[in-house]
Amino acid sequence: MKRIMTTAAVVALSAGMAQAGGVERSTQSVGILFEKGNYAEVNIGGFNPDVSGTFALNRSSSGDMAPGYGTYSLGYKQSLNDKIDVAIILDQPIGANINYRAGTTYPLAGSTAEVNSNAITGLVRYKLPQNFSVYGGLRIEQAKGKAYLPAVNVSAFGGDYLLKTSNETDYGYVIGVAWEKPEIAARVALTYNSKIDHDFTATEWGVDPTLLGATTNGFKTTVPESVNLEFQTGIAKDTLLMGSVRWVHWTQFDITPPAYSERAGQGALVEYNNNSTSWSLGVGRRFNDQWSGAVMFGYEKTQPGTTGNLGPTDGYKSVSLAASYQATDNIKITGGVRYVDIGDAKTNVITAGTGGEFSGNSGWGAGVRLAINF
């Protein structure tokens, strides 16, 4: 049954993410804490979305504005004794790569944006009586971003708009509680991830035709808090039912550079009007001592209202397949693929009281995990 558990994690984590407008790139799972003994893993994944829309006023096409991207994560877990486990996780909680193709008549043609992050999370788990355990730890997160908007896109600007932020490192925390019944491979884990506030220095160009050079000011962006519920249970011999529910407080997240907002009167560069709840449910099956597989379905509801032009997606439906091969007693290799039907979205006003309409979009992801027990 343990072989299937790791397969399930790869299905959920390594086969590409497409959530919250493409910004979220990690589910922040704590599953590594429940691996037996001492354990290490390396995950490499990629996602290739195809996201395009039309400007509602003249029906001009944006072209594919969401380039593919890669992700990675590392994890290490050690049992200190029969009561205490520790783990460390390196991942990329958020990210974005936006590129509206130049040379089209779409109002945002030529606009680009990037958000990059890395996080290290240290966790400690303490086992209580009656199969309960509590866990918690510290998350250290680094983030930075940049954006470019040609002058034609924002009439208040005297030239092309360019934003570069400082590279900031800040802190949050993780707390949770879990219950297990090993006899049937059952486990429920409830985890709270705190928000992390980043105080950036923004360097902005092109916000005022009367100014030469750049303006520099500070602003705050919050990577939002979230709650994860992860569960699994055996339902038949060599068969596991598993799933998760993840809530993210996305209304805490916005990127509002001071000069862009105040001098150019443009408001937030990126913001979300709704929070999100993502669901996943699947089944894993062990075929023999070496091979196991899993299938997982995912869903996030499309929300009312509009989305930002630097993340024109809203909700999704997905299906993932994975297979694990037990190469030796201590080494396991798992691969997974994921298809995502990306939710339709209407974007915020671009010009003349009109925004964009994005529909019929999708993406493919793939991932590989190498896991070692020792």
- What is d(CA 229, CA 141) in angstroms, rounded to the nearest whole number? 22
**Model pTM score:** 0.93
Q: From the CB of residue 334, how many other CB atoms can be counted at a distance below 10 Å?
A: 27
Burial class of residue 356 (count of CB atoms within 10 Å of its CB; 0-12, 13-18, 19+): buried
DSSP state of 313: -
- What is d(CA 45, CA 28) in angstroms, rounded to the nearest whole number? 15
Containing H/E element for 62? none
- For residue 250, give every residue at least 6 positions away whose Cβ sits within 8 Å of its Cβ, in sequence order, or none: 20, 224, 272, 274, 275, 276
Q: What is the sign, positive or negative, of the torsion defined by CA atoms of 189, 45, 66, 142?
A: positive
The dihedrals phi and psi of 282, each to the nearest 5 degrees, come to: -160, 180
Residue 11 bridge partners (DSSP) = none
pLDDT in tens, the chain (374 residues): 444 444 444 444 444 444 544 588 898 999 999 999 999 999 999 999 999 999 888 889 999 999 999 999 999 999 999 999 999 999 999 999 999 999 888 988 999 999 999 999 999 999 999 999 999 999 999 999 999 988 655 555 557 889 999 999 999 999 999 999 999 999 999 999 999 999 999 999 887 666 667 889 999 999 999 999 999 999 999 999 999 999 999 999 999 999 888 776 677 888 888 899 999 999 999 999 999 999 999 999 988 888 878 788 889 999 999 999 999 999 999 999 999 999 999 887 766 567 889 999 999 999 999 999 99
Looking at residue 22, what is its pLDDT? 59
* Pair 29, 14: CB distance under 8 Å: no
Q: What is the sign, positive or negative, of the torsion defined by CA atoms of 273, 274, 275, 276?
A: negative
In the structure encoding, which two tokens stand for residue 282, read together? Answer: 């699947």
Domains of the chain: 2-373 (2.40.160.60)
Looking at residue 212, what is its pLDDT? 67
Q: What is the sign, positive or negative, of the torsion defined by CA atoms of 29, 33, 35, 40?
A: positive
Distance of CA 325 to the CA centre of its chain: 27
The dihedrals phi and psi of 20, each to the nearest 5 degrees, come to: 50, 55
- What is d(CA 50, CA 361) in angstroms, rounded to the nearest whole number? 6
Grouping H, G, I as helix, E, B as strand and the rest as coil, residue 207 is coil
